[in-house]
Amino acid sequence: MKKVVVASLLAVASMASVTGPLLAQTQVSLGSNAQATSGGVQMSPAEYKAYNDAISQTTPQTKAPALEQYLTAYPQSSVKASVLEQLMLSYAAFDPAKTLDAADRLLQVDPNNLRALTFEVYFRKQQAEQATDPAAKQTAFDSSASYAQKGLAVTTKPADMSDADFAKVKDAATPVFYGAIAEAALNKKDDPTAITDFKAELGSVPVAQTQTPGPMLQDTFELAQAYYQSTPPDYVNCTWYATRAAAFAPEPYKSQMLPLAKFCYKKYHGADDGYDAVTTAVQTNLNPPADFKIKPAPSPADIVAGVISGTPDLSTLAISDKEFILTNGKPEDAAKVWDTMKGKSVQFPDSTVIAVTDTALQVAVSDDAVQSKTADFTFQLAAPLKTPPAVGAKVTVSGTYASFTPSPIQITMSDGAVVEPKKTPAKAPVHHPAHH
C-alpha cells in the first residue's frame, strides 16, 4: 500500500488560529513627546511623528506601507527591530511572500526573534507543500526545519517582553517547530525522526486540540504514515494513530484516512474482526495505553500446526497445502507430510513448463507457482524427450517423489516422464441411404 496523501485543506486553521499569540502587536514605549524616560526610547520630533503615524494605521493593508516608509526614512532607527516585527505581523494578514521578507530582515537584527522564526517555519513549510519538483520540495522542507531547530533553541525572552507573554509565544510556536521538523523527516523517509517530532508536537498542545480539524489532527495521521513506512512497518501504531485521526476528522478526510487504518490493522491481525475495539479506544486516548494490544495474525508455523492436528490423513491434502507445510512448518511437521509423499509415484495433469533440458523438466504445479511463473517441481527425466515441450505449454508429467528443499519450495522427482495425451480413435464414416 502506497503512502496515503490527505489534502492539506484538513488544516483549516489559519495562521492566526495556529499561532494567535504571535500576532499580538507590541509597541515600544517612546515616552512623552519623544523624550527619553525610564524604559523609553529617545527620537526626534520628526521621527516620532513618522513612527506614530505608521503605527496608528488601523488596517494591515495601510499599516504595512506606512511602516516601510518609516524604515526607508530612518534605516538606523533605534526601534528598527520593533518596527520590522510590526511590519511582519501586518504583512501576515494578507501577503505571505512579504511576510517572509520582513521576517528575513527582522532576523538580521534580532536572530532569536521567536515570532520571526515561527513565520519562517510556517510559510517555508507551506511553500514545500505546494512545490511539485521533489528536490525543491525537500529543500523547502529542510529550510523550514532548520528555522524550527533554531526556534526550539531559543530560551531567553526579550528584555521588553513579560514572562507571561514570552511563555504564550513559546507555547504557540513549539508545535509549529516540531511539526516542521517531522514533516521534513517524513518526506525523506527518516521515519525515526518523524515519529519522535510528531509525537513531541502532539504532546505540546492540549489534548482537545488534537481532536478538532486542524494541523494537529492532520499530523496525527502523518504520524501513522511514519509508522507505516518504517522498516519494518509498525502496523500496531499505524493502526492506532490513523484510526485516531479518522475518528475526529470530518468528511471527506475521514474516508481518506480509514483505508490506511484498516490496512495496517489487517496486516497485523490478519482479518477485520475486532477493529471496532480500536475505534472505541482512540476516542479517549491520544496515545495507545500501556495495555493496548492487537492480537497478531497466526504465524505460518501456527497455521501449519493447526492443519497437522486437524487433518486425520495428511496424504489427502492438496499439493498446494503440502507445499505450504514443507515450506513453513517446523521440521517435525514437514517430516510428517513428506513421509506421506516420498517414494510414491504421482501424475500431475496441466502442469506449466518453466524450463526443459535433456535431463530435467521444471514445471509449475500449484496455483501459486503457476501464477508467479516459477517452478515448484523438477522432474529428473528417465530419458531425453524426443519432442521437448515449449516453455509455457501445458503437459501431464509423472514421476516419483525423491527429495525437497523448503525455501523456496522445490520438489525433485525421479524417473520423470511426459505422458502423451491419449489419442481418440477416429470414428468410421456414417453412410446415410438418403445420400445414395
235-251 pLDDT, tens digit per residue, is: 999 999 999 999 999 99
- Return phi, psi of residue 413, to 5°: -115, 140
Domain with CATH 2.40.50.110 in the chain: 344-421
Q: What is the mean pLDDT of residues 17-45?
A: 54
> In this structure, are residues 240 and 288 in contact, taking their beta carbons and an 8 Å threshold?
yes
| 397/423 Cα distance (integer angstroms) | 17
C-alpha separations of 82 from 48, 78, 89, 107 in Å: 14, 9, 11, 11
Tell me the fold of 344-421: OB fold (Dihydrolipoamide Acetyltransferase, E2P) (2.40.50)
**Does pLDDT of 232 surpass 50?**
yes
Domain with CATH 1.25.40.10 in the chain: 45-282
Quote the pLDDT of residue 393.
Answer: 94
Task: Give the model confidence (pLDDT) of 301-356 as tens digits.
Answer: 888 888 998 999 999 999 989 999 999 888 999 999 999 999 999 999 999 999 99
| 278/260 Cα distance (integer angstroms) | 14
Give 89 or 10, the one with higher predicted confidence.
89
Q: What is the mean pLDDT of residues 368-394?
A: 91
Task: Give the model confidence (pLDDT) of 144-179 as tens digits.
Answer: 999 999 999 999 888 888 899 899 999 999 999 999
Tell which residue, 430, 3, 54, 10, has the closest CA to residue 217: 10
For the four alpha carbons of 45, 50, 51 and 57, in that order, the dihedral sign comes to: positive
Q: What is the mean pLDDT of residues 115-144?
A: 95
Tell which residue, 79, 86, 145, 161, has the closest CA to residue 116: 86
Tell me the fold of 45-282: 1.25.40
Please list the residues that pair with 346 across neighbouring strands.
399
**Does pLDDT of 1 surpass 50?**
no
Pick from 22-36, 271-285, 367-381: least confident? 22-36
Helix (H) or strand (E) holding 371: helix 367-372
